[in-house]
Structure formats: C-alpha cells, structure tokens
Amino acid sequence: RVLLAVLLVLATPAVTLLLGILAQRELLEAPVAAGEAWQLFLAAVGEGLLQHHLLGSLLFPFLALGAYPCWLLLWNVLFWK
C-alpha cells in the first residue's frame, strides 16, 4: 500500500511537470538545483494561467480538465476497499 501511495504521488500532474522540467534541463546539459527547478515550475504554472486569462488560450483548462479527472479515477482505483 505504501509503495502504491508513493507511486500515486509521483504520478500527480504537478510532480510530472516538475520532473519534466528537470528532465528537459538535464537533456540540455544544464542541470538545475532544486530551488531553481521549483522557480521554473512556478513560472510554468503561472505562465499557463496568465496565457489563459489574457490570451484566451484553452490549453491550460483542457489539460486541467483532462488530468484532474484521470488523477481522481486513479486515486479511487488504487485505494478502493
């Protein structure tokens, strides 16, 4: 159960984005520290929200509407009693 809980936390959209940022910087051969990775993560989330608000970009809501229900479904399937 504990292993499944850890895997579930690692599969959250936020952790996936953070790991994607770390992987992208590693592939660019410019690794970042944890603090800088956190700042890049916050900038990515903030920019997505800002683009949605100012430009009417629908990418952020579509990703949120797609990822959040899948996350809830995964949570229910793994921890169903």
Give the model's pLDDT for residue 57: 72
The structural domains of the chain, with segments of one domain joined by +, span 2-78
Q: Would you say residue 11 has pLDDT above 90?
A: no
Query: E strands of the chain, at which residues?
Result: none
Per-residue pLDDT reduced to its tens digit, 62-76: 776 677 777 777 777
Q: Would you say residue 81 has pLDDT above 70?
A: no
Give the model's pLDDT for residue 39: 94
Task: Tally the residues of the chain.
Answer: 81
Find all residues with CB under 8 Å of 71, minimum gap 6, and list them: 11, 12, 13
Per-residue pLDDT reduced to its tens digit, 35-61: 999 999 999 888 888 887 787 777 777
CB of 57 closer than 8 Å to CB of 51: yes
Q: Would you say residue 13 has pLDDT above 70?
A: yes
